[in-house]
A and B are shown apart, each in its own frame.
Chain A
Amino acid sequence: MDYQTETEDGALTLYWLQSGGCGGDTWSLFNSDLPNMAEFFETLNIDLLWHASISNIGVADRQTLHEAILSGERKLDILCVEGSVIRGPSGTGMFDTQFGRPKKDLLAGLAKQARYVLAVGTCASFGGVGADGEIEATGLQFHKWDSGGFLGKKFRSGSGMPVINLPGCPCHPGVVAGAIQTVVSEGALELTPYHMPLEWYGTMVHQGCTRNEYHEYRVEEKEFGEKGCLFFYLGCHGPLVYGPCNKLLWNRRSSKTRVGVPCFGCTRPDFPQQYPFFKTRNIEGIPIELPDGVNRAHYLAYKGIAAAAAPKRLKLRKTGI
Chain B
Amino acid sequence: MGTTIHTFPVNRVEGDLEVRIQIEAGVVTDAWCVGSMYRGFENLMIGRSALDGLVITPRVCGICSTAHLKAAAKALDRIFKVRPPGPAKKIRNLALGVETLQNDMRHGFLIFMSDFAGKGYRDHSMYAEAVARYQPLRGRTAVRTIQETARVVEIIAILGGQWPHSSFMVPGGVVSSPNGSETAQCRYLLNGYRKWYEDRVLGCSVERWAEVRSKADLENWLDESRAHRNSEVGFFLRFSREAGLDRIGQGHGNFISFGVLEMPEETEVASVNGNTHFLPGGIAPGIRRSALDPEKITEETACSWFKDEGRLHPMQGQTVPYATGGEGGKYSWCKAPRYDGLPVETGPLAELMVADHPLFSDLVGRSGPDAMVRQLARLVRPALLLPVLNQWLSELHREREPFYQAAREPEDGEGAGLLEAPRGALGHWVRIRDGAIEKYQIITPTAWNASPRDGNGVRGAMEEALVGTPVRDPGDPVEVGHVVRSFDPCLVCTVHAADLRGSGRNFRI
Chain A residues within CB distance 8 Å of chain B: 1, 4, 18, 20-28, 30-33, 36-38, 41-42, 48, 52-60, 62, 86, 89, 92, 94-100, 103, 129-130, 132-135, 169-170, 223-225, 245, 250-261, 264, 266, 272, 276-279
Neighbour of A36 across the interface among B9, B143, B163, CB < 8 A: B143
Pair A96/B56 contact, Cβ less than 8 Å: no
Neighbour of A38 across the interface among B146, B156, B321, CB < 8 A: B146
Q: Which residues does chain B contribute within 8 Å of A59, judged by CB atoms?
A: 6-9, 475-476
Pair B404/A250 contact, Cβ less than 8 Å: no
Task: Decide yes or no: A31 and B150 within 8 Å by CB, A225-B404, A254-B162, A256-B162 being known contacts.
Answer: yes
Q: Which residues does chain B contribute within 8 Å of A37, judged by CB atoms?
A: 137, 146
State the Cβ distance, A116 to closest chain B Cβ, in Å.
21
State the Cβ distance, B76 to closest chain A Cβ, in Å.
11
Chain B 145-170 against A: per-residue CB contact (8 Å), 1 yes, 0 no?
01101110110111111111111101
| 30 CB < 8 A contacts A-B | A22-B65, A33-B150, A36-B150, A41-B137, A53-B11, A56-B12, A56-B115, A58-B119, A95-B321, A97-B36, A99-B509, A134-B321, A169-B165, A225-B173, A225-B174, A250-B157, A251-B154, A253-B158, A254-B161, A254-B162, A256-B160, A256-B161, A257-B161, A259-B160, A261-B168, A266-B165, A272-B55, A276-B48, A277-B167, A279-B49
Q: Which residues does chain B contribute within 8 Å of A60, judged by CB atoms?
A: 475-476
Q: Which residues does chain B contribute within 8 Å of A86, judged by CB atoms?
A: 37-39
State the Cβ distance, B295 to closest chain A Cβ, in Å.
30
Cα–Cα distance between A14 and B34 once the two chains are bound (Å) = 29
State the 3 A-B residue pairs at the shortest beta-carbon distance, nearest first. A24-B62, A250-B162, A276-B49
| Interfacial residues of chain B within 50-79, with CB under 8 A of chain A in the complex | 51-52, 54-56, 59-63, 65
State the Cβ distance, A103 to closest chain B Cβ, in Å.
8
Residue with the greatest number of chain A CB neighbours at <10 A, chosen from B60, B106, B161: B161
State the Cβ distance, B433 to closest chain A Cβ, in Å.
15
Task: Decide yes or no: A261 and B175 within 8 Å by CB, A62-B9, A224-B170 being known contacts.
Answer: yes
Q: Which residues does chain A contribute within 8 Å of B7, judged by CB atoms?
A: 59, 99
Q: Is B43 part of the contact surface with A, judged by Cβ < 8 Å?
A: yes
Q: Which residues does chain B contribute within 8 Å of A257, judged by CB atoms?
A: 161
Q: Is B114 part of the contact surface with A, judged by Cβ < 8 Å?
A: yes
| Interfacial residues of chain B within 106-137, with CB under 8 A of chain A in the complex | 106, 110-111, 114-115, 117-120, 131, 135-137
New A-B pairs, 20, CB < 8 Å, besides A23-B63, A28-B164, A261-B167: A20-B37, A21-B62, A24-B165, A27-B164, A30-B106, A31-B150, A38-B142, A41-B137, A58-B476, A59-B6, A95-B38, A135-B40, A170-B62, A250-B163, A251-B153, A261-B160, A261-B168, A276-B52, A278-B49, A278-B170
Pair B508/A100 contact, Cβ less than 8 Å: yes
State the Cβ distance, B422 to closest chain A Cβ, in Å.
12
Q: Which residues does chain A contribute within 8 Å of B137, judged by CB atoms?
A: 37-38, 41-42, 48, 54
A223 (CB) vs chain B CBs: closest residue: B406
State the Cβ distance, A169 to closest chain B Cβ, in Å.
6
State the Cβ distance, B127 to closest chain A Cβ, in Å.
9
State the Cβ distance, A140 to closest chain B Cβ, in Å.
18
Task: Decide yes or no: A251 and B170 within 8 Å by CB, A97-B36, A100-B508 being known contacts.
Answer: no
Task: Decide yes or no: A52 and B492 within 8 Å by CB, A97-B36, A225-B175, A277-B54 being known contacts.
Answer: yes
Cα–Cα distance between A264 and B56 once the two chains are bound (Å) = 10
Cα–Cα distance between A94 and B492 once the two chains are bound (Å) = 16
| Interfacial residues of chain B within 173-212, with CB under 8 A of chain A in the complex | 173-178
